[in-house]
Amino acid sequence: MTTIRLYNTRTRRKEGFAPLDPDNVRMYVCGPTVYDRAHLGNARPVVVFDVLYRLLRHVYGEGHVTYVRNFTDVDDKINARAKESGRAIGEITAETTQWFLEDMGELGALEPDYMPRATQYIPQMVAMIEDLIAKGHAYEAEGHVLFAVDSWRENYGALSGRTVDDMIAGARVEVAPYKRNPMDFVLWKPSDADQPGWDSPWGRGRPGWHIECSAMAYELLGESFDIHGGGNDLMFPHHENEIAQSCCAHPEGDFARVWMHNEMLQVEGKKMSKSLGNFFTVRDLLDQGIPGEVIRFVFLSTHYRKPMDWTAEKAIDAKARLFGFVELISMYGDLLEAMKLDPEPALIDALADDLNTHAALECVGKMNSSSDANRLARNLVFLGVYSGPELESRVNEYRQGVETLRNIVTLLQSAREKAKKNKDFSEVDRIKDILSAANVSVRMSKDDVDLRPEIDFDPAKLEALK
């Protein structure tokens, strides 16, 4: 069996991965707060942990991996969006949840086994909060319930490598008179008449952000599970707080044994920001004609623990490389046979080495001969760059384009022969202009004409030749 090694943020070293139960490898990844379109940075952890999910299913079997990614559908950002738009909260969250799934699907991401919504687990959150109060780890104050960091002080900060005193001095904490310690964080807060709320022992209210992941992870994965993932911006306070409340509620468990965090995304070397004009949603790029496979390929080109820099140049290069892959597969491949193959051992080894997608793509890039076509196709599908049907569609489009151009070769040769006789090359030039507009490469020798589809080949523009 392949040995997987993963960098564990908690221990700050790369470790051999040994699941608690090889028959049920369990992974939880923090999902989006659904109030708007997912921006490009939101997509990075989705792609990163989708690749890990694929690797785990390959090593342990598709039926032996449980992947959970939540939706936060109760949050002050959602409340604010509802207030400014005049739309119902449920309508907003339903719409934006669907947007997220559609956009991530365009990037080749498989849907997790479970996608719980916070509002579906309010009773479980209330029960966990009650348990934390009973064990002396939480307290009620002015309609709020807060986690008492001092009750977990010797362990709090282990993930992020900070002491409580350092965090108080340097962290952004909500200062409130009802807190015993500035670092205490909200488990439950009161709701007014205009805010979503649920009945609880502490009055009508709603959960804090951190408690939802602890409650849902426990319900779906148990008191101990294998991997917890997310962006490194969540390490503190979100993941630190998850550990505290989960380990205090279930001291007999380990919560998550391996913590994985992807680095952040930049655009053209700068932090993505609306004020800088470099803020993109995934849908923005898709609508600009950048296919999902190109976005995914660019993401995979950088190791997940390194900052990812999205640039227009990288997108152009990825598009060209993918076109070359499709061209090779179209000319020499057999997709039915390709899908019967196992993924390349060298590619699996690269991914097993702390998800080294950059090395995996280098492995793919070496498959550049006619005899490599089927192996290339299989590995592109394994990496999620294309699904099987998507690759089949791209290959069929290319092959149909080649067939169409065969007929046009005859047309162009005939026009050239006539032009040589009457010394009028206007028709030849007209045909060549149409071919150029359709992104067709035209090569003419003394005795031959060669037409080949190029990137962004548009067969619809060839209708002008009729």
How far apart are alpha carbons 380 and 364 in whole angstroms? 8
pLDDT at 175 over 90: no
Q: Where are the beta strands (DSSP E) in 314-445?
A: 440-444
Query: Once rounded to an integer, what is the mean pLDDT over residues 257-268?
Result: 96
What are the boundaries of each domain within the chain? 5-262, 288-386, 407-465
Own/partner contacts of 415-419, CB < 8 Å, gap of 24 or more, are 416/444, 416/449
pLDDT band for position 32 (cuts 50, 70, 90): very high
Confidence class for position 259, pLDDT limits 50, 70, 90: very high
168 falls in which pLDDT band (50, 70, 90)? low
Q: Which residues contact 436 (CB under 8 A, 6 or more apart)?
A: 442
| pLDDT tens, residue by residue, 75-134 | 999 999 999 999 999 999 999 999 999 999 999 999 999 999 999 999 999 999 999 999
Pairwise CA distance, residues 232 & 235, whole Å: 5
Tell whether omega for the bond before 237 is within 30 degrees of 0, i.e. cis: yes
The first and second tokens of residue 235, run together, are 């390490």
Q: In 10 A of CB 185, how many CB atoms?
A: 23
Q: How far is CA 76 from the centre of its chain?
A: 24
Angle between helices 240-249 and 122-134 (to 10 degrees): 70
Strands (DSSP E) found in 17-119: 25-29, 65-69
Report the pLDDT value the prediction gives residue 465, as an integer from 0 to 100. 85
Tokens of 414: 């005939």
- 10: Cβ–Cβ under 8 A, 6 or more apart, which residues? 158, 159, 258, 259
User: Which regions of 290-423 does DSSP assign to beta strands (E)?
Assistant: 308-310
Prediction pTM value: 0.94
Nearest alpha carbon to residue 314 among 296, 287, 288:
296
pLDDT digits (tens, 9 = 90+) for 371-429: 999 999 999 999 999 999 999 999 999 999 999 999 899 999 999 999 999 999 999 99
Q: What is the pLDDT of residues 330-347, one digit of tens each?
A: 999 999 999 999 999 999
Task: Supply the pLDDT for residue 425.
Answer: 92
pLDDT of residue 436 exceeding 60, the answer is yes
Element containing residue 57 per DSSP (H, E): helix 40-60
Cα–Cα distance, 266 to 264 (Å, whole number): 7
228-238, pLDDT tens digit by residue?
999 999 999 99
In the prediction, which pLDDT does 176 show?
Answer: 83
The pLDDT value recorded for residue 275 is 82
Give per-residue pLDDT as tens, 339-368: 999 999 999 999 999 999 999 999 999 999
Q: By C-alpha distance, which of 366, 386, 152 is closest to 291?
A: 386
**Residue 144, pLDDT score:** 96
Q: What is the CA radius of gyration of the chain?
A: 27
Confidence band of 447 (pLDDT split at 50, 70, 90): confident
Query: What is the pLDDT, as a whole number, of residue 431?
Result: 93
In whole angstroms, what is the distance from residue 172 CA to residue 243 CA? 19
Dmax of the chain from CA atoms?
98
Q: How far apart (Å, rounded) are the C-alpha atoms in residues 129 and 46?
A: 29
pLDDT value, residue 446: 81
Q: Which of 26, 3, 23 is nearest to 15 (CA)?
A: 3
- Amino acid 173: pLDDT: 59
Quote the pLDDT of residue 277: 83
- Which CATH number applies to 5-262? 3.40.50.620
Alpha helices in 107-249 (DSSP H): 122-134, 164-170, 209-221, 240-249
User: Edge-to-edge strands of the sheet including 255-262?
Assistant: 65-69, 25-29, 224-231, 255-262
Listed in sequence order, the residues at least 6 apart from 151 whose beta carbon sits closer than 8 Å to its beta carbon are 136, 137, 248
Q: Report residue 441 as tokens.
A: 């490469």
Q: What is the pLDDT of residue 169?
A: 55
Write down the pLDDT at residue 134: 98
pLDDT-above-90 percentage for the chain: 89
* Predicted confidence (pLDDT) at residue 222 exceeds the cutoff of 80: yes
Q: How confident is the model at residue 316 (pLDDT cuts 50, 70, 90)?
A: very high
- Please check whether residue 158 is in contact with residue 239, taking contact to mean a CB–CB distance below 8 angstroms: no
Distance in angstroms (rounded) separating the CA atoms of residues 2 and 382: 16
- Residue 83 near residue 194, CB atoms below 8 Å: yes
| 182 contacts: CB under 8 Å, gap ≥ 6 | 168, 173, 175
The CA distances from residue 267 to 31, 65, 233, 308, 364, in Å, are: 22, 34, 17, 8, 26
What integer pLDDT is reported at residue 167 of this predicted model?
66
Give burial (CB, 10 Å; 0-12/13-18/19+) of 177. Answer: exposed
Q: How many Cβ atoms from other residues are within 10 Å of residue 240's Cβ?
A: 23
172: pLDDT confidence band, cut at 50, 70 and 90? low
